[in-house]
Amino acid sequence: MPVTPVLTRRWSAPESWTLATYERLDGYQGLRRALAQGPDDLIKLIKDSGLRGRGGAGFPTGMKWGFIPQGDGKPHYLVINADEGEPGTCKDAPLMKADPHSLIEGIVIAAYAVRASRAFVYLRGELIHAARRLRAAVAEAYQAGYLGRDILGSGFDLDLVIHSGAGAYICGEETALLDSLEGRRGQPRLRPPFPATHGLYASPTVVNNVETIATVPFIVNYGVDWFRSMGRERSPGPKIYSLSGHVTRPGQYEAPMGTTLRELLDLAGGVLGGRKLKAWTPGGSSTPLLTADHLDAPLDFEGVQEAGSLLGTAALMIMDETVDMLPVVRRLTQFYAHESCGKCTPCREGTTWMVQILSRMERGQGDPDDVDTLVDACDNIFGRAFCALADGATSPIVSGIKFFRNEFLPITPANPSGSTTSVAGSANGATAGGAAAGTPGAYAGAH
Ligand SMILES: Cc1cc2nc3c(=O)[nH]c(=O)nc-3n(C[C@H](O)[C@H](O)[C@H](O)COP(=O)(O)O)c2cc1C
Ligand code: SF4
């Protein structure tokens, strides 16, 4: 499959993170073009391009920019979501490390379009190296006149602040992020009102993902037709897919939207050790698991939905045939219980109880009714909690049980592949498949 890198094309250049390299490779040309146009023309361009947010939900970016009220006399803000906490997701951090100026250029263009004179990058606390690169690049951009007062003589002013969070997954949820940025405890806000009118400091705010904004300079430079020549009708453009887990060459693979896992695995050398694919996440741990039956699903927003899951962050965690699903699902559920902000009961209590049930199943102390109890609990959590973290927490459980139900049921003569013993304390407590291959550590390190 021919793949022409767009977003990642500078990553292998020597000192790719410096301004000198960036300028040599067409850097800040998009900004010059953008500043020669009116802000509304830019919003229209991004609308026409069909660019959709790369932070997980796929919201149309131009439409989001268009929601910002004009002439309201309030300050406008642009906030970049660089929290990247979804397990398996590893695209924004490498992008900021390898090519920080592409993000900065996108920020200046986006801020100009939505008439913001102050922008923030909210960076996940653990991304220390990315923060260093980004701060150094911001200093270079100020020095060169791409940030600050009267940018490139256009009369447009923009200040950019890089803010490191403290490593809480919930602070990736855009309204929790805004509370955290304001110095409060990071918990989601009630909506409406939406950030477009009442965002940071109760002012109109656009929140966009790193990859979304880093895509913008390319669209300004090369145009709508070029952008739409990649990907599919409703999900155009290039995309960075993160492959981790049981794959021969894990890493970031850029390909047009709609590329299949089969094609990506070809690029990545296949499943590790030539083993068979058992399960995978198309968009991080909060998206329902898929199986080898879905290898040919187009990985774009519609294609993955048709296959029964979500594209999310395009974080493909690959699990081979040796993996025991129960420890995987238990570990992921523990993640959500740990990261639940505690604001609402279904999520705070539900995730904690589900970890307890899954843990006792894993210890061989499960009850034959546990599977139904878990499905019922997920049914009561999904759509009934304050934010999407709780919905995401149900995904591994519901999809794991859907495809691998036997592994969650007690071992009985009729179900020899079950995960646990049916009787508490029985000596026959070995987990099918062995815990070693199924430990999330197999992919957690790639995050
Ligand atoms: C629990 C939770 C965590 C999230 N974490 C992130 C994140 O780390 N990065 C991100 O860009 N979006 C994250 N999102 C999605 C954001 O709320 C928001 O939709 C996104 O930043 C919008 O940017 P986009 O339109 O460019 O995709 C998260 C959402 C939820 C519910
Ligand atoms: S769903 Fe969970 S993370 Fe979201 S507000 Fe409720 S308790 Fe917090």
Domain ranges of the chain: 19-229, 238-323, 325-420
**Residues β-bridged to residue 340:** none
- 127 within ligand 2 shell (Cβ under 6 A): no
CA 8 to CA 56: how far, in whole Å?
A: 19
pLDDT band for position 437 (50/70/90)? very low
pLDDT in tens, 22-72: 999 999 999 999 999 999 999 999 999 999 999 999 999 999 999 999 889
> Average pLDDT, whole number, for the chain?
92
Tell me the H-state helices in 116-158: 128-144
What average pLDDT score do residues 161-166 get? 97
Q: Which atom of ligand 1 is nearest to the CA of 211?
A: 26
CA 430 to CA 428: how far, in whole Å?
A: 6
Nearest of 302, 304, 324 to residue 316 by alpha carbon = 304
pLDDT in tens, 265-296: 999 999 999 999 999 999 999 999 999 999 99
What average pLDDT score do residues 303-320 get? 98
**Residues β-bridged to residue 164:** 123
Pocket of ligand 1 (CB under 6 A): 53-57, 59, 81, 83-86, 169-170, 172-174, 207-209, 212, 387-389
Query: Is the model's pLDDT at 441 over the cut of 80?
Result: no
The pair of structure tokens assigned to 37 is: 């146009």
Tell me the H-state helices in 170-324: 174-181, 195-198, 210-228, 261-267, 301-306
Residue 362 Ramachandran class (φ > 0 left, ψ -120 to 50 alpha, else beta): alpha
* Integer CA distances (angstroms), 406 to 283, 355, 410, 414, in order: 25, 19, 8, 10
Rg (CA), the chain: 23
**Residues β-bridged to residue 290:** 280
User: pLDDT above 70 covers what percent of the chain?
Assistant: 92
pLDDT band for position 432 (50/70/90)? very low
**Region 19-229: CATH code:** 3.40.50.11540
Q: Which atom of ligand 2 is nearest to the CA of 385?
A: 1
Among 86, 184, 286, 389, the mutation site with the greatest number of ligand 2 atoms within 8 A of its Cβ is: 389
Q: Which atom of ligand 2 is nearest to the CA of 387?
A: 4
pLDDT band for position 1 (50/70/90)? low
CA 144 to CA 128: how far, in whole Å?
A: 24
- 389 within ligand 2 shell (Cβ under 6 A): yes
**Residues β-bridged to residue 241:** 253
Ligand lying closest to the C-alpha of residue 346: 2
Which residue has tokens 């995904």? 395
- 384 within ligand 2 shell (Cβ under 6 A): no
Ligand lying closest to the C-alpha of residue 186: 2
Q: Which atom of ligand 1 is nearest to the CA of 81?
A: 11
pLDDT at 447: 24
Q: Please tell me the distance between residue 62's alpha carbon and the centre of ligand 1 in angstroms.
A: 17
pLDDT at 414: 72
pLDDT at 426: 31
pLDDT band for position 411 (50/70/90)? confident
- Whole-model pTM: value is 0.92
Could you give the count of Cα atoms lying within 13 Å of 58 in the half-sphere of its Cβ?
A: 20
- 442 within ligand 2 shell (Cβ under 6 A): no
pLDDT at 433: 30
More confident residue, 443 or 321: 321
Strand 159-164's sheet: what is its strand order? 159-164, 118-123, 77-82, 205-209
Ligand lying closest to the C-alpha of residue 392: 1
Query: Is the model's pLDDT at 236 over the cut of 60?
Result: yes
Among 191, 348, 384, the mutation site with the greatest number of ligand 2 atoms within 8 A of its Cβ is: 348
CA 187 to CA 174: how far, in whole Å?
A: 10
Ligand lying closest to the C-alpha of residue 80: 1
Architecture in CATH for domain 238-323: Roll (3.10)
Query: Is the model's pLDDT at 257 over the cut of 80?
Result: yes
pLDDT in tens, 125-156: 999 999 999 999 999 999 999 999 999 999 99
Q: Which atom of ligand 2 is nearest to the CA of 342?
A: 7
- 227 within ligand 2 shell (Cβ under 6 A): no
pLDDT at 3: 67
DSSP 334-348: HHHHHH--SSSHHHH
Q: Please tell me the distance between residue 428's alpha carbon and the centre of ligand 1 in angstroms.
A: 44
What average pLDDT score do residues 75-80 get? 98
Q: Please tell me the distance between residue 276's alpha carbon and the centre of ligand 2 in angstroms.
A: 36
Q: What is the DSSP letter of 369?
A: T
Protein fold of 325-420: de novo design (two linked rop proteins) (1.20.1440)
**How big is the chain, counted in residues?**
447
What average pLDDT score do residues 310-327 get? 98
CA 291 to CA 295: how far, in whole Å?
A: 7
